[in-house]
Amino acid sequence: MEHRIHELMSAVPGTVSQLHSFHYGPPDSERSVYIQSSLHADELPGMLVAFKLKQRLAELEAAGLLNARVCIVPIANPIGLTQQLMDVPLGRYELETLKNFNRHYADMTAAIAEGLETALGDSETDNIDIIRTRFLTALEDRTPANALESLQLTLQRLACQADYVLDLHCDFNAVEHLYTTPAAWPTFEPLARYFGSRASMLATDSGGQSFDECFTLVWEQLRERLGERFPIGYGTQSITLELRGQDDVDHDLADHDSSAIIHWMMQLGLVQGEAPALPALPFPPTPLAAMEFLVAPEGGLLVFHARPGEQVVSGQLIAEVIDPIHDVVHDVRATQDGMIYARSQRRMATAGMIVADLAGHDSRRSGYLLAP
């Protein structure tokens, strides 16, 4: 194992922020995996999973059973981790810029594509290597303007050459779910099964240039531009695993989730050993465009009638918003059949607040598909 320390730009003199990455497996291996946790720094279940994975990978490496290079960043957001206000962690948005830590990563497609045609050939493997090198070079040529950009660029540089990128998140109050692309679903379906994903939502471009998509979109866009003239594979396939809710920092759950990742790696031949039989998938994959946010029509006391993991039908009562001054009760109902996979932890709703997330089957949205 190799432990690397990456110094980040400091917002003010006298302060220091660092990223720590841990590297396992043969340095000359042809395949690689990048795993990070807690990019939203108030989402901590992934940090415990990363801790568990470090122990497992150290054992596998010592036994000579790792067939891939694996990089783990257990604390992907030291900036957000320090944002505590009156005993409340505020790790979703960077307080200086008010930007979501998982949005607006640098789009490097244009820089990579400049003059690329003259470098590509008939070998898909060689073309992937060329594009990966250009990707890293383009990122290294960028100069961050602030601490947030320094963090984002460092993470991108660590992950841009990996075959597989796993970003470990969680929701507020939720069951197991995930986000990935239609092209990557065949690769990650076994992981979804081992993980027990209750909702698996697929989109090529969700509109937010999030961490996972800042890699996959490069390959999608280059294939669109040049794919008819040159063989270009998917150099990186990414997935965001949502490890239930913020309160689910639990050894048994983390053991299950880390085992799911190791079993998936076995299934791909990244770890030596026989992978367990694939479990059934609890709920079929659905388009992210069919996911709907159920919102409070007015402010008031929030009382739920459906729990995460519950399959519901269109029109079913999900929650009530109660105004105890005027004795008015507003219903929040399912807009289509599907799975309630996440809901708010708050019990006093404000008008327009997202109350619950529904993984439906009928695509009704386009453009920006993510939460703020």
- The answer on 206 and 300 residing in a single domain is no
- The answer on 227 and 108 residing in a single domain is yes
- The answer on 295 and 278 residing in a single domain is no
Of 247, 282, 317, the residue at which a domain comes to its end is 282
pLDDT, position 129: 97
Task: Report phi then psi at 306, rounded to 5.
Answer: -140, 145
* pLDDT digit string, tens, across residues 132-188: 999 999 999 999 999 999 999 999 999 999 999 999 999 999 999 999 999 999 999
Domain membership flag for residue 367:
no
- The answer on 302 and 205 residing in a single domain is no
Element (H, E) at 225: helix 213-226
| Closest-CA residue to 189 (of 101, 301, 98, 280) | 280
- The answer on 36 and 152 residing in a single domain is yes
Domain membership flag for residue 371:
no
pLDDT, position 227: 85
Query: For residues 111 and 109, what is the distance between their CA atoms, to the nearest angstrom?
Result: 6
Output the 3-class SS for 97-147.
CCEECCCCCCCCHHHHHCCHHHCCCCCHHHHHHHHHHHHHHHHHCCCCCCH
- The answer on 157 and 248 residing in a single domain is yes
Domain membership flag for residue 368:
no
* pLDDT digit string, tens, across residues 277-320: 999 999 999 999 999 999 999 999 999 999 999 999 999 999 99
* pLDDT digit string, tens, across residues 312-340: 999 999 999 999 999 999 999 999 999 99
- The answer on 132 and 114 residing in a single domain is yes
- The answer on 309 and 261 residing in a single domain is no
- The answer on 296 and 266 residing in a single domain is no
Element (H, E) at 92: none
Query: For residues 343 and 162, what is the distance between their CA atoms, to the nearest angstrom?
Result: 33
Q: What is the DSSP string of 144-195?
A: -SSHHHHHHHHHHHHHTT-SEEEEEEEESEE-SEEEE-TTTHHHHHHHHHHH
- The answer on 223 and 92 residing in a single domain is yes
Number of domains in the chain: 2
Of 229, 255, 282, the residue at which a domain comes to its end is 282
Structure tokens at 277: 């039989």
pLDDT, position 200: 98
- The residue to which tokens 């961050």 are assigned: 144
Domain membership flag for residue 369:
no
Residue 264 has pLDDT above 90, yes or no: yes
- The answer on 232 and 335 residing in a single domain is no
- The residue to which tokens 């922020």 are assigned: 17
Domain membership flag for residue 365:
no
Domain membership flag for residue 179:
yes
* pLDDT digit string, tens, across residues 67-88: 999 999 999 999 999 999 999 9
Question: What are the beta bridge partners of residue 34?
Answer: 71, 165
Domain membership flag for residue 312:
yes
- The answer on 226 and 293 residing in a single domain is no
Q: What is the CATH number of the domain that holds 354?
A: 2.40.50.100
Of 252, 282, 312, the residue at which a domain comes to its end is 282
Percent of the chain at pLDDT > 70 equals 100
- CA 339 to chain CA centroid, nearest Å: 20
Task: Report phi then psi at 285, rounded to 5.
Answer: -65, 145
Q: What is the CATH number of the domain that holds 154?
A: 3.40.630.10
- Residue 300: give the domain boundaries: 287-360
| Closest-CA residue to 143 (of 9, 23, 238) | 9
Domain membership flag for residue 63:
yes
pLDDT, position 65: 98
Per-residue pLDDT averaged across 44-59, rounded? 98
